[in-house]
Amino acid sequence: MTEFKKETININGVDTAVYSAGEGEPLLFLHGAGTFHGFEFAKPWADKFRVIHPYHPGFGESADDPAMDTFHDYVMHYVELLDALGIDKVHLVGFSLGGYLAAQFASQQRERVKTLTLVAPAGMRSDEHPTIDVLATPGEELVGMLASDFSVLEPWLPKEPDPDFIGDRYRESTTVARLLWEKPWDPKFMRYLHRINTPTLIVWGQEDKIVPHQQAELWKQALPDAKVEIFPGAGHLVLDEKPEAASAVAAFAA
Amino acid sequence: MTARFNFMHFMPYVHLPENHKDYKSLWVNFPNKYYDPHKAAALYDRYLDELVFADKVGFDAIVVNEHHNTSYSMMPAPSLIAANLIPRVQNARICVWGTPPNLEYPNRLAEEYAMLDVMSRGRLEVAFPLGTGMEYWANPVNPSTARERHKESIEIILKAWTEDGPTSHYGDFYTYRFLNSWVRPMQQPHPPCYIVGTGSPETIELAAQLGFGYSAVFVTKARAKELNDNLRERSAHYGHQIRPEQMPLGIMTYVAETQEKAEQEFTDHMRFFFEDALRTVPQFLAPPGYLSVEQLKARAAVGDKMHGSFDFKMVSDALFVAVGTADHVANLIGEWGEMMGTTHFNIQGALGDMPHWKVMKNMQLIAEEVMPRVRGTASSAGAMAAE
C-alpha cells in the first residue's frame, strides 16, 4: 500500500504539513473541519496521481495562524503552497469545509484548476435542506452524525475520554470559528460561482446528516459544467465509507 | 482592621418547572417558555428590596452582575438594576460587575456607566469581565477573538472617560471617527475598575497592565491565593502598586445562631446554586476559541465539579464558604483576608433559592454581628450577647 511522505513547508510564516505520494498529474486534496478520521481513502489515488494532502493552517499537524480568519486567506495560502511546490495546475478535490474552500479557490484561480471535485461540500445556503450548524452541535452528537456506518469511525476515536483528543478537536473548532462564527455562509459566495469553468464532479452520501445531499442540485444549477453522483448507504464521510466513491473521484480526474 | 463589605445578589429566577432536571443546561438553551413575567416581577420587587435593605443595615456596597439566556440570573442588563437602586440606596456604593464590554458597543457602555456615576453622585464601581463562555452562545460575538476585542473595548472606554473629546479610535474591531461621550464620569479620572474572572493568566495580565483590581470567582482557596500573589507581582511589574481593597474576595456567607442551624438553613440553597442555577455543559462553558487549547485540556483533565453537582463538604473545603455562628464566620473572614492580602469582602449572602426571610435575617446578622467583629469594633456587650 502507498505510504505518504511528510514535509513541512513554511508558507508566509505558517509551518504547513504536506503529505504526498505517487507520481503523475498533481491532485490536491483539501480536508474538512475535523481531521481525526485520517486519509486512508486517498491512498489508492496515488496509483494514478501525485497526491498532495496538506493540513490547513490551524488543523492537524500544521501550525496555527490566528490572523487567518477569512476564506480568502486560505485561498491565498494554497496559491502560495502550489507556487512553493512549483505546481501550475491541479486536480482539486475538496471535502466538506474543504469543498467550500475548493469551490472558492476554483472561482478565483480557475487557471490553476484542471478538474474540480466537491465531496459533500459545505457553504451552500439552503433553507429547505440546511447544513447542520457544526459549531452549535455538541461534539459527542456530531460524531454520531458523521457516518452512516459508525464502525468506520471507531478506529480513530479514543476508547476513554482523552484530553489530548478533546484539545485537538477544540483547536480545529477554534479555527472553524474564526472563519464561520459570525456567518456560517457567505452571502457573496453564489455571486462568483459561475466563474468555475472546469468540469466538476459532485459526490455525496445519500444519508449525509451534516450537509444534506439535496444541496447537490443547487450546486449543479450554479456550476456551468457539473455532474452529480450520490452514493446510497453512505453518510457525510462518503469517501471513508464507500471505496467506490473514492474510485469515482480518481476516475473523474483521470 | 479596615474592612469593606459588599452585598452581592445573583437574582436567580427560582421558579423552575418540575421537570427541570431533564435539562442538562439551565443556560443558553433552557427553554424560555418556563419564564413567567408575573413571577419575575414579584422576584424583582423582592430582590431590589433586599439590596436596599443591605444599604440600610450598613453594607458598604451592593453588587450586581450580568448573564444571558439563563435562570441563573435575572440581570441581562445590570445597569437597569443599578439605575433602579440609585435613588433608593442612600450610602452604599453601587458595583456593576458587570457588563462584558464585548457584548455592547464600547462607547455606549462608557456612556451608560458615566450616567450611573453622575446620577449616583460618584458612587459607581465597575468590572469589565470577558463574560462566561455561555454569553458567547447567546450574543453575536465571535469567541475566538474575544480576548483581543475585550482589550480594545476597555481601551476605548478608558479613552472616552479620560481624554477630552472629540477624539477618535481606529482599532482592529472598532472605528470611532468622533469619540466624544457627552456624559463624563463624576469620579476622576474614572470610577474604580476591576476585572472579574476565573483565573485565566491572560486576564490577570490585562488587569495588571491596566492597574485595575481583580477578583477571581469559582476558584479554590489555594488557587485564589496564587492568583492574588500573581496579580500583585504582575501589577508591580507594570508599575502599579495593588492596594488591598483592589482584590475583592467573594465569600458565600450564612450566619445563624448555631453552627448546626446555619448549615441546616443554608445547605439546600447552596445545593440549588451549584446543581441547578449553575448547571450547564462543557460545550457552553468553552465555545471555540474562548479558551486556549492548553487551558481547555487542563480543564478537561480535571473535570468540572462546579456546574451541576454539589457536595457540601467538598465545596466548603475548596471554596470560600463561611457558614456558622457570627464568631466563626468573622474568624474565617479575618483569616482569609490576611491570607489573601485583602480588606475587601464580597459577601454572597443571597444564594440559590433562599427565601426572603433567610436573606433578610442573614444580612442583618452579618451586618450587626460579623462586620463589627472583623473590623474590631464590636462592643463587648454585643459580642457577649451573641455568644
Sketch out chain A's domains with CATH numbers. Answer: 5-253 (3.40.50.1820)
Best CA proximity match to A94, nearest among A153, A185, A28? A28
Strand A50-54 relative to strand A26-30: parallel, antiparallel, unpaired? parallel
pLDDT at B384 over 60: no
Among B140, B288, B298, select the one facing A173 at the smallest CB separation. Answer: B288
In 3D space, the residue among B95, B161, B99 whose CA is nearest the CA of residue B123 turns out to be: B95
Helices B201-210 + B221-237 axis angle, to 10: 40
Residue A138 with chain B: CB contacts under 8 Å: 281, 283
B-chain residues near A136 (CB < 8 A) = 137
Q: What is the pLDDT of residues B151-201, one digit of tens each?
A: 999 999 999 999 999 999 999 999 999 999 999 999 999 999 999 988 888
- What amino acid is encoded at B353 in this protein? D
Burial (CB count <10 Å: 0-12, 13-18, 19+), residue A12: middle
pLDDT band at A3 (very low <50, low <70, confident <90, very high): confident
* CA–CA gap between residue A155 and residue B296 (Å, rounded): 24
- Cα B143 from chain centroid (whole Å): 21
Of A197, A184, A176, A51, which is closest to residue A114 (Cα–Cα)?
A197
pLDDT of residue A1: 55
- Give the mean model confidence (pLDDT) for residues A81-107: 98
How many angstroms away from the CA of A178 is the closest CA of chain B?
Answer: 6
Q: If we measure between CA atoms, which residue out of B66, B10, B69 comes closest to residue B34?
A: B69
pLDDT band of B205, cuts 50, 70, 90: very high
Which amino acid is it at B128?
F
| Residue B317, number of CB atoms within 10 A of its CB | 11
Question: Are the CB atoms for B179 and B156 separated by under 8 Å?
Answer: yes
Report the share of chain B in percent with pLDDT over 70.
97
Closest chain A residue to B300 measured between Cα atoms? A163
Position with higher pLDDT, B314 vs B48: B48
User: A177 vs B286: CB contact, 8 Å cut-off?
Assistant: no
In the numeric block, which cell numbers belong to residue B201? 493568566
Helix axes B259-271, B356-365, angle to 10 degrees: 130
- Arithmetic mean of pLDDT, A36-48: 95
pLDDT of residue B381: 46
Q: Note whether A167 and A36 are within 8 A (CB).
A: no
DSSP chain A: ----EEEEEEETTEEEEEEEE--SSEEEEE--S--TT-SGGGGGGGGTSEEEEEPPTTSTTSPP-TT--SHHHHHHHHHHHHHHHT---EEEEEETHHHHHHHHHHHH-GGGEEEEEEES------SSSPPP-TTTS-HHHHHHHS-SSGGGTGGGS-SS--HHHHHHHHHHHHHHHHHHSS-SS-TTGGGGGGG--S-EEEEEETT-SSS-TTHHHHHHHHSTTEEEEEETT--S-HHHH-HHHHHHHHHHH-
pLDDT at B385 over 80: no
- Chain A: residue nearest B137 by CA? A136
> What is the pLDDT, as a whole number, of residue B201?
87
Q: A182-216: per-residue pLDDT in tens?
A: 988 888 899 999 999 999 999 999 999 999 999 99
Residues B267-305 pLDDT 10s: 999 999 999 999 999 999 999 999 999 989 988 887 777
Mean pLDDT value of segment B50-72: 98
Residue B326 has pLDDT above 80, yes or no: yes
Burial class (CB in 10 A: 0-12, 13-18, 19+), A218: middle
Q: For residues B102 and B290, give the distance between their C-alpha atoms in angstroms, rounded to a whole number.
A: 13
Question: What pLDDT, on a 0 to 100 scale, did the predictor assign at position B309?
Answer: 80
As a whole number of angstroms, the distance between CA B380 and CA A108 comes to 83
Question: B97: helix, coil or strand?
Answer: strand
The whole-angstrom distance between B140's CA and the closest CA on chain A is 7
Tell me: the pLDDT tens digits for B7-41? 999 999 999 999 999 999 999 999 999 999 999 99
Give how far A72 is from chain B: nearest CA, Å.
Answer: 18
Residue B240 CA: distances (Å) to CA of B233, B328, B342? 9, 35, 16
Q: Is B214 in contact with B238 (CB distance < 8 Å)? A: no
**Are the C-beta atoms of B320 and B252 separated by less than 8 Å?**
yes
- Residue A182: φ, ψ to 5°: -65, -40
pLDDT reported for residue A185: 84
Tell me which chain A residue has its CA closest to the CA of residue B141: A182
Report pLDDT for B310. 87
CB neighbour class for A209 (10 Å; exposed up to 12, middle 13-18, buried from 19): middle
Q: pLDDT tens-digit profile of A125-143?
A: 999 999 999 999 998 899 9
A163/B300 Cβ within 8 A: yes
User: Which of residues A206 and B202 earns the better pLDDT score?
Assistant: A206
Q: State the pLDDT at residue B298.
A: 87
Q: What is the mean pLDDT of chain A?
A: 96
Task: With beta carbons less than 8 A apart as the criterion, state whether A228 and A216 touch.
Answer: yes
Helix (H, G, I), strand (E, B) or coil at B341: coil
- Contact (CB<8Å) A176/B296: no
Tell me what pLDDT residue B379 has.
62
Is the predicted pLDDT of residue B81 greater than 50, yes or no?
yes
Q: Do the Cβ atoms of A166 and B140 come within 8 Å?
A: no
What ipTM was predicted for this assembly? 0.93
Contact criterion met (CB < 8 Å) for B296 and A166: yes
Q: Which residues of A touch B147 (CB under 8 A)?
A: none
Q: What is the DSSP letter of B197?
A: E
In angstroms, rounded to a whole number, what is the distance separating the alpha carbons of residues B239 and B214? 16
| Whether B287 and A177 lie within 8 Å, measured CB to CB | yes
Which candidate, B73, B20, B13, places its Cα nearest to that of B43? B13
How far apart are alpha carbons B197 and B204 in whole angstroms? Answer: 8
CB pairs under 8 A between A and B: 53
Q: Of A234, A228, A192, which is closest to residue A209 (Cα–Cα)?
A: A234
Task: Choose among B137, B288, B297: nearest Cβ to A174.
Answer: B288
Q: What is the mean pLDDT of residues B93-121?
A: 98
Question: Is the model's pLDDT at B387 over the cut of 60?
Answer: no
Q: How many residues does chain B have?
A: 387
Q: Using CA atoms, how far apart are residues B28 and A139, in angstroms rounded to an integer?
A: 17
CB B209 within 8 A of CB B238: yes
Domains of chain B by start residue, with CATH: 4-386 (3.20.20.30)
Which stretch of DSSP H or E encloses residue B315? helix B312-318
**Cell numbers 418540575 label which residue?**
B18
**Averaged over B52-69, what is the pLDDT?**
98
* A189–chain B nearest CA distance, Å: 21
